[in-house]
Structure 1
Amino acid sequence: MANSGTAEGVKIVTRCEDLLALRGVGRVGFYNGSDQTPEDIPFPSCLAAALRFIGEDYSWTTFTEKGKTWHRNDLYIELLGASGMAFGLRWKAGWYQDAADMMFVADPTEIIRRSFAHVGYGFRGIDKSGNPGDEARFVNEITESLRAGRPVLSFGVVGPPECGLITGYDEGGEVLIGWSYFQDLPPFNYGVEHEPDGTYRKRNWFPDTWSLIVIEDKVDRPEPADRNAEILRWAVSVARNPGDRWGGGTQHTGLAAYDAWAKQVTNDADFFTDDERVFRSRHEIHNSAVSIVAECRWAASELLKMMAESQTKTAPDLLAAADRFRREHDLMWQAWGLVGGNGNPKAHEAFVDPQIRKELASVILKARDLDAEAIGIIEKLCC
């Protein structure tokens, strides 16, 4: 077995005949209380980690807020903006676990395409065809990319079809190694083992894998002003699109998603049960949307402030829109407060109360109004 290091000293390739592992790919996962700002949206976080590993040198910003020092991953913030996720929302009518899945705030292929165009890289999507040779084809794509020193973005492998990272393989591809948001969460981690560095090891991975994204060579990248303008145009499109045809079910996206979400939480008929599991599940789905709005609108605010630093002519309008998004983020803390605070283990009990849900709906609609104000300001700038 041989180890080969890079100039940074923390990126190591572990090789033997049937094993290859890229060591030093940044871990991705749900917020765990660290001093790094949350990265709970898998696709942009995974892409940022992969790009940093292959040598893209984006900044980190350190700041102090409410007595705590934070470290912000500026590449993640940019990718949230380029993808449209910083400005998007989705509510799938009913109480579905993927009700607020951010990969469906717009056409997923466009979300991915725009993200890669923003950073100046090509990519290839690898999907299943239903043919017997699919697994061998996936193994070949994975091994070739890893041998080139590039992690692979995967949807599935461990847990639901959310984005993760494949950073290695063993036994010639029978076992995959990588990072997943769900690798330590039951029941998704059934059959998952771990490498010494914390990455997962997953055997019999193919049935749980939906698709892959392989990072290709660099391509021409637009100038910063053009990239920013495209982010703003796409933000308006994502917010103004009332629905989509992706992901199944009845979709509501953009500003329309707030109305559908508020309507759902105030539908008392959905709570005519004594089954605590139902209450827990419905609160978890609602809380996922609260968390997404809090993180994504905070990111939108930060991104617009970053843009304002280099665009003096439009800075006042960018900062005005950023202010609306930041206030929208703050409203989500009000929503958490109504059920006893963020992380309250008994929040689902408060969520059952019709009056609490009525107040939550009011907060959601106030957030919608702030979102509409912000998008209106952006629209005047770019459209």
Structure 2
Amino acid sequence: MISADAVGKRISTLRKEKQLSQEQLAEQLNISAQAISKWETGKSLPETSTLPLLSQILGQSIDRILMPQQLVVLQAIYTDGCESYDVTHFINQFVVDNCLTFFLNDQTLPHRIHSHRIKLLLIKYQIPSGTYAAYVLQDNLLAIHLDSEGYDLPSGELEFVFTAYGNERKHLNIMNKMKHYQYFKWGQFTATHELFPSLIDNHGEDYLLLVYVNASGIHAISCPEGDSIHYTSDRTELFGSDSVNDCCIVQNVGQLGFGQGMDCSWAGALYLSLKTMGQETTYETVMGVSGACWRVAFTPVWDYSSADALVAYDYAAPAFKAYGLQVSRTDRITSKERELEMRHIKESIKKHHLPIAINLRVAPEWGIITGYLNGGETLLCRSYFDEETFEEHKADPEFQEHMNISKGYLNVDQWPFSLIRFNGEVAKPSALDNLYASLQVKLDSMYAGESRGYKLGYQALQAWREGLLDEQWYQTANPQDFARRLGVNHFCLMALTDARRSAAIYLKDMLSFPAASLTGYLSEMADVYEQMHSRLQPFYASLTDVKSLDTFHSPKKVWTKEQRQQQADLLQSIEILERRGDELARRILAAAGND
């Protein structure tokens, strides 16, 4: 029998483990924070439709959430102290009757670390008596049960639980030396043979490996001979040497920019990151599986942010599920939290798992972090505003010299207020399952209510039309306000045109996958979205480029009453086609349920 109290406590624990507030979890699930509070206090259970996404966000199976065992793995990290993979969901499958037994070797995990460093599995787990940590070295057996004596998590300074010097072939346990050095409160440890003698018959490079626990869990960090590992100022964490020579740049990451067939900046940044990770995909597929190809959002105050794919609806979660990605999100973190996040960013870059973030430079649009210089003091990126900078400084020799150093990437100018890192993979759904999920997102988002001041779906189209037809406003508006509304209109129309183009391409691509019973509906739906794009694109192209407004005496000469009426009529025709798309989506989902 499912216990609402037990489920609520488990959700609360897992949410806090992911460092999410109730509001942040609610936003990702597209529900209210009050609903989360009711779950966690045992007053209600999650809706069935919410469980798959909740499972993905919390990194636990639905069964582990609804029928929680007394032993739960809160975090499992496979690492060599440099490269790491989150395998929490995978390891939890081995918890049987409140016991975890797992033999760690190259064949038992879904990931490989190709290095000569010592490899190990770090476990943070919870049992009725509290939260503890454990580890197991490669080629050894891990066994945890309710009576296991794991490592306590200290509230103050970190505590070492395993230290070694050498490599995966041969190494020395150096715990006694580390306790000696700790006595003198050293601020750093340099990996040298003077401090940590090497085995005489050891071949290959030596590494210093330090495994420690702190209030947040268990961690491992490793550095090669000659490098250093440092304490943070409060001595609760360790980090690698941030020397001037510490840099990592992932080369040959493509360009971003509006008007290049990737006008949704979030989807464009995700597409580049996926390509760098070796995922075979297209921008249109990213738009399709996420559901962003169906999106339309609008705020009656006419703001550019309406075109941001994630501003009012979470299209990111379906995309991450479709590509089998485990992610970490940080939003509006404090300056104190940035030191730790910077280390995570650097680790991701070294693995070619490039983070995507919003507001990297110029304006709040999504981009991709491509590398770092000077130990992370300088981050590099691709953004949607690079081409203007390249053109402006093409004759500047100092700028060109920096481009040689940065491999053609521009500096990140400001700390992003939202950032997404990719830190593990799980099994991917089939292409058909992704299609069904996408169509459900379409139906949900087109009929969703207002979110954070933004209207969605049909409400957005209606608000946009009403704003276009408010002739009194246009007659009395000053030139600055008029020009701003004109710019917002262009930006939103660009986003809508790009989205419907992507929808048509995605649906056409999916024609090769479904069963015969779905082909007719899917083909017709693709035609519907081709019609939408064929109406939107010529109208958008006919509008005067907002960049040329300075050549006109008044912006009111650029955007006429007749054009606004034409666009309002166009949006009405788009709504009719959208409703036909809804009908076909329902038929496809109904037919799929009968297969």
Q: Taking structure 2 as the reference length, what is the TM-score of the superposition?
A: 0.52
> Is 1:47 aligned to 2:270, yes or no?
yes
> Is 1:260 aligned to 2:463, yes or no?
yes
1:60-96: per-residue Cα shift (whole Å, max 9, x none)? xxxxxxxxxxxxxxx2111111221101100111222
Change beyond 3 A, Cα 1:368–1:112: same
Amino acid at match of 2:565: K
Structure 2 match to 1:96: 303
CA distance in 2, matches of 1:178, 1:143: 13
Structure 1 match to 2:403: 195
Amino acid at match of 1:20: C
Superposition map of 1:299-318 within 5 A: 299-311=502-514, 312-318=516-522
Structure 2 match to 1:6: none
1:342-376: per-residue Cα shift (whole Å, max 9, x none)? 98766954554223212221111111111111122
| Selected match of 1:29 from 228, 232, 257 | 257
Amino acid at match of 2:274: L
Report deviation, 1:159. 2.7
Q: 1:103 is paired with a residue of what secondary structure?
A: coil
Amino acid at match of 1:80: M
Structure 1 match to 2:351: 148
CA distance in 2, matches of 1:301, 1:78: 11
Report deviation, 1:128. 3.4
Amino acid at match of 1:53: T
Report deviation, 1:102. 2.1
Gaps of 5+ in 1: 1-14, 33-37, 59-74
The farther-off stretch of 49-58 and 329-338 is 329-338
Which runs of at least 4 in structure 1 moved beyond 6 Å after TM superposition? 341-344
Report deviation, 1:264. 0.6
Report deviation, 1:99. 2.9
Structure 2 match to 1:81: 288
CA distance in 1, matches of 2:545, 2:387: 24
> Is 1:370 aligned to 2:544, yes or no?
no
CA distance in 2, matches of 1:289, 1:119: 27
1:158-209: per-residue Cα shift (whole Å, max 9, x none)? 13332111111112111111101123458xx99xx66234311235x33xx2
**Contact (CA 8 Å) 1:20, 1:169: kept in 2 or not?**
yes
Higher Cα Rg: structure 1 or 2?
A: 2
Structure 2 match to 1:122: 326
> Is 1:324 aligned to 2:532, yes or no?
no
**Contact (CA 8 Å) 1:242, 1:255: kept in 2 or not?**
no
1:279-332: per-residue Cα shift (whole Å, max 9, x none)? 322111111121112111111111111112222321111111111111111221
Structure 2 match to 1:235: 442
CA distance in 1, matches of 2:346, 2:543: 47
**Contact (CA 8 Å) 1:242, 1:253: kept in 2 or not?**
yes
Amino acid at match of 2:375: G
CA distance in 2, matches of 1:324, 1:98: 27
Change beyond 3 A, Cα 1:315–1:344: farther
Structure 2 match to 1:61: none
Q: How many residues get paired?
A: 334
CA distance in 1, matches of 2:548, 2:521: 37
Amino acid at match of 1:138: E
CA distance in 1, matches of 2:444, 2:490: 26
**Contact (CA 8 Å) 1:255, 1:372: kept in 2 or not?**
no
Q: 1:23 is paired with a residue of what secondary structure?
A: coil
Gaps of 5+ in 2: 1-242, 394-398, 591-595
Q: 2:263 is paired with a residue of what secondary structure?
A: coil
The farther-off stretch of 285-294 and 333-342 is 333-342
Amino acid at match of 1:173: G
Report deviation, 1:337. 6.1
Q: 2:422 is paired with a residue of what secondary structure?
A: strand
Report deviation, 1:147. 1.9
CA distance in 1, matches of 2:443, 2:503: 12
**Contact (CA 8 Å) 2:333, 2:417: kept in 1 or not?**
no
Change beyond 3 A, Cα 1:274–1:133: closer
Structure 2 match to 1:162: 365
Percent of aligned pairs sharing the same letter:
20
**Contact (CA 8 Å) 2:256, 2:382: kept in 1 or not?**
yes
Amino acid at match of 1:327: Q
Q: 1:259 is paired with a residue of what secondary structure?
A: helix
Report deviation, 1:123. 0.9
**Contact (CA 8 Å) 1:86, 1:297: kept in 2 or not?**
yes
CA distance in 1, matches of 2:475, 2:536: 26
Change beyond 3 A, Cα 1:122–1:172: same
Higher relative contact order (CA 8 A, sep 6+): 1
Structure 2 match to 1:10: none
Change beyond 3 A, Cα 1:378–1:343: farther
| Selected match of 1:286 from 483, 489, 500 | 489
CA distance in 2, matches of 1:348, 1:318: 43
**Contact (CA 8 Å) 1:176, 1:202: kept in 2 or not?**
yes
Report deviation, 1:379. 1.6
Q: 2:361 is paired with a residue of what secondary structure?
A: coil
CA distance in 2, matches of 1:261, 1:343: 22
Amino acid at match of 1:46: A
